[in-house]
């Protein structure tokens, strides 16, 4: 029987597990001197643990997937909430946590938190992470402002913000041209309504979009659906009965 990575059209060589493990080791053992270098190390550690966990998931190695997912949480907590944010200085040599939040990338780690937090069931961690995104937070490389706006809304959803606040944020996230953001806003609205049938419909519409537009990209992180995984596990946690069609099963991270 073929393994998940083979079903998704990737070879062992394409996965590059040894290279990713080497990059992870480098991020763990490096000793940068500058504050920017240290900040990048704090970003790289959770990012590389998440990437390695994805590779092991594609190899159907649940033990190592879980191992690196758990390591992700420790390093992600340090990245988002570590004391370094309260003592690192700006180029003008003033201590300013807001400066770093507005100018240093974060969205990749937020995505990974959604993926592994839901897969492992770390919902309290996710509630905490939901406090991090702000309307003027940095837009990471490769993302748009609309993506940032969606993640601000997702953060509000995670921290259980008042309905009126979340509705306003979802309206903003839906205002731009990016279809994935509009579809995910609809998914969140369905979660708000706690309507299993509506959530099923909205989630399948998003997964169809993902399969057609995101999955074909030559990025290993696109072989699984981060948002799809998050909302499937959220629905199950909340006792909302939804079904994942067979065509999407390999894209939803589940650990035994």
* 1 class by beta-carbon count within 10 Å (0-12 exposed, 13-18 middle, 19+ buried): exposed
**Average pLDDT of the residues in 208-225:** 95
pLDDT at 1 over 80: no
CA angle 174, 180, 186 (to 5 degrees): 55
Phi/psi for 140 (5° steps) reads: -65, 155
State the average pLDDT for the chain: 94
No. of H helices and E strands in the chain? 13, 0
How many other CB atoms are found less than 10 A from the CB of residue 91?
Answer: 9
The stretch 129-133 carries a mean pLDDT of 97
> Which residues lie across from 90 on neighbouring strands?
none
| DSSP SS3 for 32 | coil
Q: Rounded to whole angstroms, what are the CA distances from 102 to 1, 8, 138, 230?
A: 48, 37, 5, 26
The answer to whether residue 25 scores a pLDDT higher than 80 is yes
CA–CA gap between residue 12 and residue 128 (Å, rounded): 36
Instruction: Please choose, from the candidates 118, 120, 194, 197, the residue with its C-alpha nearest in 3D space to the C-alpha of residue 158.
Output: 118
Is residue 74 pLDDT above 90, yes or no?
yes
pLDDT in tens, 79-123: 999 999 999 988 888 898 888 899 999 999 999 999 999 999 999
Provide the sign of the torsion angle of the four alpha carbons 204, 121, 72, 95, taken in this order. positive
Question: What tens digit of pLDDT does each residue of 164-186 get?
Answer: 999 999 999 999 999 999 999 99
pTM for the structure as a whole? 0.94
pLDDT at 109: 98
Structure confidence by residue, pLDDT tens digits, 7-24: 998 888 888 888 898 988
């Amino acid at each position: 029987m073929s393994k998940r990575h083979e079903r998704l059209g990737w070879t062992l060589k394409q996965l590059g597990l040894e290279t990713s493990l080497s990059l992870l080791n480098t991020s763990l053992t490096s000793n940068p001197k500058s504050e920017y270098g240290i900040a990048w190390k704090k970003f790289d550690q959770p990012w590389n643990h998440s990437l390695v966990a994805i590779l092991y998931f594609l190899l159907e190695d649940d033990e190592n997937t879980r191992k690196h997912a758990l390591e992700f949480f420790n390093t992600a907590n340090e990245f988002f909430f570590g004391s370094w944010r309260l003592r690192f200085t700006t180029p003008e040599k003033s201590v300013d946590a807001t400066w770093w939040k507005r100018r240093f990338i974060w969205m990749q780690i937020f995505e990974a938190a959604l993926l592994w937090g839901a897969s492992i069931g770390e919902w309290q961690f996710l509630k905490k992470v939901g406090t991090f995104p702000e309307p003027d937070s940095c837009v990471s490389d490769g993302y748009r402002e609309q993506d940032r706006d969606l993640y601000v809304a997702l953060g509000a959803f995670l921290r259980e913000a008042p309905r009126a606040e979340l509705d306003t944020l979802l309206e903003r996230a839906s205002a731009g041209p990016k279809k994935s953001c509009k579809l995910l806003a609809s998914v969140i609205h369905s979660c708000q309504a706690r309507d299993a049938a509506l959530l099923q419909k909205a989630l399948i519409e998003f997964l169809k979009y993902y399969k057609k537009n995101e999955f074909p990209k030559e990025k290993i992180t696109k072989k699984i659906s981060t948002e799809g995984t998050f909302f499937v596990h959220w629905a199950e946690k909340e006792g909302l009965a939804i079904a994942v069609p067979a065509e999407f099963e390999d894209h939803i991270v589940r650990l035994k």
